[in-house]
Structure 1
């Protein structure tokens, strides 16, 4: 997992509430456990018509928001099923931070396990970011160490984050990486167990 420290990126406004994980990545794209290639399915029903052509009115298809790295979304983003493919698809598309007033719990937890930063801001702050992005000011700065979002107009918004999750994001640690930080202690424990209980080591 890549560390997340700070990004300066285009922000795309998605002013819709209750976007669920099936809308983020529809079920037909869940046949793989690979994390690459899922960008094609991100917001598929919003991005494409029945013939597979891009819908020009969807924000991520508009030239101004191509290569957006931040998504500013409506309330309760990521509700629905617990599919981990949702953060995978966002990351594969190039979005590394989602800003909203609230997230569904399971999606919120999955974001931290996969290196996607979910940022909770106040409703007026989210609306200001959306308005600026819609008005042509696209670039925002998200600083995890300082726990701030700097809007295109220079306004700085502060967000809260659990210290343990912040540490893992800054250091690029998923659950496995966090465990491997204690690899030396694990080796010592296994060595002692083999000496004290040799029968457990028999094939």
Structure 2
């Protein structure tokens, strides 16, 4: 997993509450192989409803930060919604609240979710809506979000989740941290209880 320390990127406002995972990635695209990349399917149906979708507006090209309204990522538990955001270049989503499973999936795939109070998130969306192309800076070690004129906004994050993101640790990496203990346990079982060891063919 790509480590996350600091990010300086164009931020885009999505001024909609309760954006669910089916809006982020419609279910029919889940049959596509992960290796093909999901970025091209991000908000697929929403981007075809008429008015220019925020990510498609002039000045917002190459955005790396999405600032949304409350309860972002609600709905089904599909991890593909996170894949679509990451594959499209979004490394951070800011909102007043998130779907619990979405936030967990995000952390396991290098996507930082920042929770801000509703008024702070709304003010930030208003600024981004009025000034496309605005660049924000996220400093995860310092736990701050900073606008172009300065004025760092602190944000809370679970220490374990922060460590995983900063060090780029996914579930496999976390398991491998205990490789020596696992090997020692397997050796002890083979020595003391050999009948429990599966026969090799």
TM-score between the two structures when normalised by the length of structure 1: 0.93
Asked whether 1:138 is paired with 2:134, we answer yes
Residue 96 of structure 2, aligned match among 76, 101, 106: 101
Residue 156 of structure 1, aligned match among 136, 140, 152: 152
4+ residue segments displaced more than 3 Å: none
- The aligned residue for residue 40 of structure 1 is 40
1: distance between equivalents of 2:62 and 2:187? Answer: 50
Structure 2: gaps (5+ residues): none
| Backbone CA RMSD of aligned residues | 1.4
2: distance between equivalents of 1:45 and 1:31? Answer: 16
Structure 1 stretch 87-96 or stretch 180-189: which is displaced more?
180-189
Give deviations 1:10-63, integer Å, cap 9, x for gaps: 0000000000000000011000341542111110111125xxxxx552111112
2: distance between equivalents of 1:202 and 1:3? Answer: 38
Q: How does 1:1-203 map to 2 (within 5 A)?
A: 1-34=1-34, 36-49=36-49, 55=50, 57-136=52-131, 138-203=134-199
Aligned length: 198
Kindly indicate whether the alpha-carbon contact (under 8 Å) linking 1:24 and 1:44 is maintained by their aligned counterparts in 2: yes
Give deviations 1:100-149, integer Å, cap 9, x for gaps: 00001111111111111000011222122212212226100111100110
Structure 1 stretch 116-125 or stretch 126-135: which is displaced more?
126-135
Kindly indicate whether the alpha-carbon contact (under 8 Å) linking 1:18 and 1:79 is maintained by their aligned counterparts in 2: yes
2: distance between equivalents of 1:132 and 1:155? Answer: 14
Structure 1: gaps (5+ residues): 50-54
Summarize the Cα distance change of 1:48–1:199 in structure 2 as closer, same or farther, 3 Å threshold.
same
